[in-house]
Amino acid sequence: MTAALIFLALLMGVVVWWLVRQTINVKPWVASAPQGIQSGVGFLPPSKLALGVLLAVITSLFALFISAYSIRMEVADWRPLPEPALLWVNTAVLFAASVGLQWAWRGAARENWPAVRRGTAVGAACALAFMIGQLIAWRQLTAAGYLVAGNPANSFFYLLTGLHVLHLLGGLVALMKTGGYVRAQAAAQARTGVELCAVYWHFLFVVWLILFGLLLST
């Protein structure tokens, strides 16, 4: 459970630090007129904060899977499976997807709509290519006799990669919706959408790097 605990400790640390800043030296019973426009966390719009919370939840999910992985690994029946070389290619493709969306994000910030369109297209296409690549990697492993129930190492491989792809799929749905805003030239929504998608893509890329590193190292 170490991975999950480390993640939680960090998160709780942030929460407590933030709370201390909010509350220290405050005498809540003292009445006063409101100052400023709103009492919320000023630096983030709600949608970005929501994405942040969602990413924390997803991180918790993967951290727990990694914890389970490292506990289950200790048992004697664990037989590591060979990672297909294709995974390296897929990693590069997912990186390209991230770059594409970063490009779109910069474009959106400058209201450069052609760049946004190209960037999101690259991001979406590469994400799709990554998913197809993962599927091919699955088929290669199945063909080589590494079935999902054959060994816990196999089970975890399919489970972790599958879950990661599912999250990417969810991201694609959001990206499609953002694509609609871009086409409709709805500047505000498009900008937010592209930004959120870019952050999500980077996040999933990092998650993939961690998962891939874990799979390679064990």
Residues near other proteins (CB under 8 A) are 1, 4-5, 8, 11-12, 15-16, 19, 22-23, 25-41, 44-46, 49-50, 53-54, 56-57, 60-61, 64-65, 68, 71-72, 75-78, 147-150, 152, 155, 159, 163
- Complex with other proteins: residue 132 or 166, whichever CB lies closer: 166
Q: How far is the CB of 122 from other proteins (least distance, A)?
A: 29
Cα gap 83→77, rounded to integer Å: 18
What does DSSP assign to residue 84? P
Nearest partner of 123 among 108, 110, 104, judged by Cα: 104
Q: How far is the CB of 139 from other proteins (least distance, A)?
A: 17
Cα gap 48→54, rounded to integer Å: 10
* Cα atoms found within 13 Å of the Cα of residue 124, Cβ hemisphere only: 16
Q: How far is the CB of 76 from other proteins (least distance, A)?
A: 7
Cα gap 90→106, rounded to integer Å: 24
- Complex with other proteins: residue 67 or 91, whichever CB lies closer: 67
Q: How far is the CB of 114 from other proteins (least distance, A)?
A: 30
Q: How far is the CB of 101 from other proteins (least distance, A)?
A: 22
Cα gap 50→52, rounded to integer Å: 5
204 Cβ contact partners less than 8 Å away, ≥ 6 residues apart: 94, 164, 167, 168, 171
